[in-house]
Amino acid sequence: MTLPTVLVADDDRSIRTVLTQALGRAGYQVRATSSAATLWRWVEDGEGDVVITDVIMPDENGLDLIPRIRRIRPELPVIVMSAQSTLTTAVQATQRGAFEYLPKPFDLTDLLAVVDRALKQPLVIAAQAETPKAVSDEPMPLIGRSPAMQEIYRIIARLTTTDLTVMINGESGAGKELVARALHDYGRRRTGPFVAINMAAIPRELIESELFGHERGAFTGATNRHIGRFEQAAGGTLFLDEIGDMPPEAQTRLLRVLQEGEFTTVGGRQPIRANARIVAATHRDLRALIRSGQFREDLFYRLNVVPIRLPPLRERPDDIPVLAQHFLNKAQSEGLPAKTVEPAAMALLSSYRWPGNVRELENLIRRLAALVPQPVISEEIITQEFTEYAPPEEPVAANPGEDSDNMSSVVERHIARLLTSLRESGEEGVLYERALAELERPLIRMTLAETRGNQIRAAALLGLNRNTLRKKIREHGIGVQRRVG
């Protein structure tokens, strides 16, 4: 049996070398080139079983090559690697028919897994079913290149050719509405309306009429016929925000609409066809609400077709500097004076917990852009902001004479802070996990830094199984990996 052949195109010699070695060790034959033209010649000659290509090459953009390859060799999977790593690149790669998209830097084991999958899996050419609008390099709606965000981009890209119902779970201010918008803007209903409705912001008794509309005289005060959000969203997307706060009667009605594909207005008889793609979001744990009888399980399964977990900002600290810069630029484009953040101040921002997530960061930067007279935002300014605006820390009774900097007092301070924030939010059942995560995240990050990203060494140092370590790295969205690129 002949070995499968992988064709590699990248103008960076070191990447070609690393890939050639790794793929060779994994048992593949490899041909590597720096130019798109050579890759194209090999493909035309019928060579290769899988292609791995970079996007930016001196002679041609790798993304433009994909439709041409797919036309002459539809069975040949193309894996795209890109250093740009934005939502747009992920969407473009998927729409042109790439098998998979790998943002640089990536983990070699991930690459080998993708190659393996590409060789085993028959190609589904979903992306070719319709001609997508060219996704231009318009301003990026979602900022951030952390592994956690890359996973979100990948899901959004995969969903561009479907109308599947999506459920976004994430803390307040983490960007759920922005993800919902991206699903709409890059999806096939993008020319239709995007209509949002927040279940927590509307009085309970008005939710059904808001959603489905009402007839004149349907209830006291209904002086005119009112068109509901479902009808407004026809041909587009209906974003049901804070779905966990939906009252039970409205849940029952929504379930029926989703099952039957039509609805009637409050007080109306004539069924109206429901033609809205549903994206729902919540910061709550819906499974817990189901257990306590506050959310219908059957509705949950109708909505939870594609679940997306949007991690809180503290789980993707790599994104904080780019987000901060993005909000500074935005403030400047709105006429506020230009400012920069000094590195020590940026480090402080990156280590903060951000209970209000991206919204809190955005508000802080706006405030600083408007109020700080100096052009450079210093560490002192950030420290001052955090002491003024952050919830006060609980004083912990320390043993007199105990070194206040020792590990247990630091940990106690953290736990005290966690207890305060949970007391305020009334959340239960998460303390143990959060407290351990607080310790586990820096422990793993620092060990990986110590071993310069070598996971085998880190696992050995920690005394953890390598798979366990990999799982924890993923869970915590830690960006330090054995890097290529």
Ligand X SMILES: Nc1ncnc2c1ncn2[C@@H]1O[C@H](COP(=O)(O)OP(=O)(O)OP(=O)(O)O)[C@@H](O)[C@H]1O
Residue with Cβ nearer ligand X (53 or 169): 169
Q: Give the contact letters, 208-247, x = binds to ligand X (CB under 6 A), - = no.
A: ---------------------------------x------
Site membership for ligand X, residue 154 (CB under 6 A): no
Least distance from ligand X to the Cβ atom of residue 178, Å: 4
Least distance from ligand X to the Cβ atom of residue 10, Å: 28
Site membership for ligand X, residue 69 (CB under 6 A): no
Distances (CA, A) of 240 to 196, 367, 432: 6, 30, 31
Least distance from ligand X to the Cβ atom of residue 111, Å: 26
Q: Give the contact letters, 315-354, x = binds to ligand X (CB under 6 A), - = no.
A: --------x-------------------------------
d(CA 114, CA 121): 10
Site membership for ligand X, residue 173 (CB under 6 A): yes
Binding region for ligand X (CB under 6 A) out of 141-149, 413-421, 450-458, 467-475: 141-149
Residue among 32, 108, 123, 139 nearest 76 (CA) = 123
Residue among 417, 263, 281, 431 nearest 354 (CA) = 417
End-to-end CA distance of the chain: 33
Site membership for ligand X, residue 177 (CB under 6 A): yes
Site membership for ligand X, residue 142 (CB under 6 A): yes
Residue with Cβ nearer ligand X (97 or 355): 355
Which position among 8, 286, 358, 484 is part of the footprint of ligand X (CB under 6 A)? Answer: 358
* Amino acid present at 471: K
Least distance from ligand X to the Cβ atom of residue 147, Å: 14
DSSP letter for 4, please: P
Site membership for ligand X, residue 18 (CB under 6 A): no
Binding-residue total with ligand X (CB under 6 A): 17
Binding region for ligand X (CB under 6 A) out of 175-183, 202-210, 222-230, 428-436: 175-183
Strands (E), 3-92: 5-9, 29-33, 50-54, 78-82
Q: Give the contact letters, 241-270, x = binds to ligand X (CB under 6 A), - = no.
A: x-----------------------------
Least distance from ligand X to the Cβ atom of residue 319, Å: 7
Which residue's structure tokens are 């910061």? 283
- 3-state class (DSSP) for residue 273: strand
Q: Distance between alpha carbon 94 and the CA centroid of its chain, in Å? A: 16
Q: Which of residues 272-291 bind ligand X (CB under 6 A)?
A: 283
Residue with Cβ nearer ligand X (51 or 364): 364
d(CA 450, CA 447): 5
| Exposure b/e, 103-126, CB count within 10 A at least 16 = b | bbbbbbebbbebbeebeeeeeeee
70 exposure class (CB count in 10 Å sphere: 0-12, 13-18, 19+): buried
Site membership for ligand X, residue 366 (CB under 6 A): no
Residue among 99, 121, 110, 122 nearest 26 (CA) = 110
Q: Which long-range contacts (CB under 8 A, 24 or more apart) does 255-260 make?
A: 255/296, 255/298, 255/299, 255/302, 257/212, 257/230, 258/165, 258/299, 258/302, 258/303, 259/302
Residue with Cβ nearer ligand X (30 or 341): 341
Binding site for ligand X (CB under 6 A): 142-144, 170, 172-178, 241, 283, 323, 358-359, 362
